[in-house]
Amino acid sequence: MAFKRVLLVHPPSNAEWRAVVPHTGQAYIAETLFQEGIEYDVLDMNLGYKMPDLLKRIRDFRPDLVGMSLLSMEYRKFYQMLTDVKSQYPDVKLVVGGAHVTILKDQVLRDCPAVDYGVVHEGERTLVELCRGLAHQEIKGLIFRSNGDIVYTGDRPWLKNLDELPWPRYHKFEIDRYIDTMTIYTSRGCPHLCIFCPNRIISPVFRVRSAKNVVDEIEHWYTRGKRQFNFDDDNFNMIRERVFAICDEIERRGMKDLFIHCSNGIRADRVDREILTRMWDVGFRSIAFGVDAGNDKMLKIVKKGETLAEIESAIKTACELGYDIKLLFVIGTPYETWEDVEDKVRLTLKYPVHDVHFYNTIPYPGTELYDWVVEHNAFLKKPEEYLNDVSCLVNEPVFETPELPAAKRRELHRYLAGINKKVHREDIRRKIGGPRAVQFLAKYLLNDWLIEKLFHQSIFFHKMIDKFRYRLAARKRAKETARQGSSGS
């Protein structure tokens, strides 16, 4: 069976960046379908669309295949949505993909009878082959139903040359309804061994796009007026020479006034003043470091592969150069004590960082952390419950350790929420600057309720603060250029 019309659906989620940015993975799927001449449409339900809107889009567009990318968080809600679609349109086939399917595989089809197909790992080529009508048994990475059985064809070989994939153009996305920052993935995969991270299951093989291919994408949007970009890779700076090559290519093409984020956490042990300076020269202004632990003991336990000295050096240097810095930590891994967490707080408050996230650690099936929790019978909730109900952003522990039992974990996350707000408040105060009276007034007005609304719930604020940070960086660049010109004359 071939499919000629595909509707791609991004289901509504309570995730942190809901409705702020488009689903880039789904945009890769859309662009691949477009290049292959397969008719498609897109509906991002995070933009305010409800179930009646989805059913109407199906009625109007008349797809023969509906695809949905699933998150584990609230997966039961998504299963119900798929069931409702199938009940209304029994002839429409349903295919699901994303991390939830990659981790649980055939369990998804067992739990949700409405689903016809599952796509494991990267979906671009698998979905095209499905649409072309290849025999299901010949399509690697596909889960399907056959005579009452659920069949998985096995993992598809990893695409080694990412330049072969067309990068997203967002033809049918409501692109103007998101923040004015284009998300770019310059690589895929993570070879590191962190015990808590599901990315080693989802995409364990590291692969990259060429510098030219990456900057082609930047230039495409640059010529259309975009100046703000976010490199959302797990390992943007894994290959030092490639980072320099991307910077050189940006400079060679004369693209000025860029504001580039690295929001997903780059490796601290692979940066130094030389590379951070070069990145700054071409427009990098915002960096997240995946720190995860606050001392060498815990860094070894979580298998981070970095030392605290390397992490501190990277943070210190980046702050000195003027970067907005975000620190990312996981809380409550095995053998971590309250004092170990205080080391994270001390590290955070030692530097003028822009943001900090203290994540509730979730044991995802297939990770070393999950195996530890099973072995020690440390679950507070069953996996099928917490995968649906609890995210890394929610103060609801799903396992406990002797060092940090459940009650202590809840207390700890409340304490860390206060640290998070303190960092936000101080960052805004520094950026406002001005006379002491103005700074005092700003600090007084920035109460906890307002900080919560601004930083976590307001797309308007995200748009506003991105523009503010971009203009601030542009002013700094203008001053530096003027200073260099005067010193050289």
DSSP symbol at 96? E
Identify which has the larger pLDDT, 285 or 463.
285
Predicted pLDDT of residue 457? 43
pLDDT band (50, 70, 90) for residue 16: low
| Predicted confidence (pLDDT) at residue 112 exceeds the cutoff of 90 | yes
pLDDT band (50, 70, 90) for residue 459: very low
pTM assigned to the model: 0.89
CB 117 within 8 A of CB 142: yes
Predicted pLDDT of residue 351? 98
The domains of the chain, with CATH numbers, are 5-152 (3.40.50.280), 180-419 (3.20.20.70)
CB 271 within 8 A of CB 314: yes
Considering only CA atoms, give the Rg of the chain.
23
Give pLDDT tens digits for 251-267: 999 999 999 999 987 99
Strand, coil or helix: what is 191?
coil
Q: Tokens 């509730």 label which residue?
A: 360
Identify which has the larger pLDDT, 484 or 445.
484
CB 363 within 8 A of CB 384: no
Predicted pLDDT of residue 468? 63
Could you tell me what percent of the chain has a pLDDT over 90?
Answer: 81
Residues 310-328, buried b or exposed e (16+ Cβ, 10 A)?
bbebbbebbbebebbbbbb
Could you tell me what percent of the chain has a pLDDT over 70?
Answer: 88
pLDDT band (50, 70, 90) for residue 440: low
Predicted pLDDT of residue 458? 45
Predicted pLDDT of residue 456? 47
- Alpha carbon separation from 68 to 29, 116, 121 (Å, rounded): 11, 12, 14
Predicted pLDDT of residue 71? 87
Could you tell me which of 232, 224, 227, 311 has the C-alpha nearest to residue 265?
232
pLDDT band (50, 70, 90) for residue 464: low
Predicted pLDDT of residue 471? 66
| Predicted confidence (pLDDT) at residue 369 exceeds the cutoff of 70 | yes
Predicted pLDDT of residue 14? 73
Predicted pLDDT of residue 472? 64
| Predicted confidence (pLDDT) at residue 108 exceeds the cutoff of 90 | yes
Give pLDDT tens digits for 291-337: 999 999 999 999 999 999 999 999 999 999 999 999 999 999 999 99
Cα separation of 6 and 12, whole Å?
19
Give pLDDT tens digits for 125-184: 999 999 999 999 999 999 999 999 999 999 999 999 999 999 999 999 999 999 889 999
Cα separation of 372 and 200, whole Å?
16
